[in-house]
Amino acid sequence: MTPADLIATLGARALQTRWLVRAPIRLYRAGLGFLLGTRVLMLEHVGRKSGEKRYVVLEVVDQPGSGEYIVVSGFGPKAQWYRNIRAQPQVRISTGRLRDAPAIATPMNEDDAADALEHYIRHHPAAWKRLRSSIERATGKPVDTLPMVRLRLAG
């Protein structure tokens, strides 16, 4: 099981345990993000109301080009990080090999997001099955589409 699969299998119950969900953030901030592999990244964004730095670890759905990452909002458009990047698209990302790299976050349109999700499902069917199950348990709704965000390294 990859680190991304492990994160996906935490499930709805673990999502209510703040320390467990935030543990990967501590690894990234300590410079140990490489331990989580290449299918996850940490996104630093700015709170739309507070103006404070916020952090979330997300699964990388695809890496279509150099310096480009696609991530998914598993809890839809109401997820705090998703709402924050819509208000302030200048973000920073950390991956296994990058630390605090400036990037621009751009929500994808529905067609592009659906294509990205299909690509992910084809390439990671077991991870999708676990992720979908976790999202559906947490939200109580079936998953048909999910908002996707394209992160492009700045400069």
CA-to-CA distance for 13 and 140, rounded, in angstroms? 13
Q: What is the pLDDT of residues 52-105, one digit of tens each?
A: 999 999 989 899 999 999 998 888 888 999 999 999 999 999 998 889 999 999
Q: What is the pLDDT of residues 2-20, one digit of tens each?
A: 555 555 554 444 445 555 6
Look at residue 134 and tell me whether its pLDDT is greater than 90. no
Q: Residue 23's closest CA among 14, 45, 79?
A: 14
Q: What is the pLDDT at residue 41?
A: 94
Q: Number of helices (H) and strands (E), helices first, in the chain?
A: 6, 6
3-class DSSP state for residue 150? strand
Q: What is the pLDDT at residue 12?
A: 45
Identify the H or E element spanning 144.
Answer: none
CA-to-CA distance for 138 and 38, rounded, in angstroms? 25
DSSP class of residue 59 equals E
Identify the H or E element spanning 155.
Answer: none
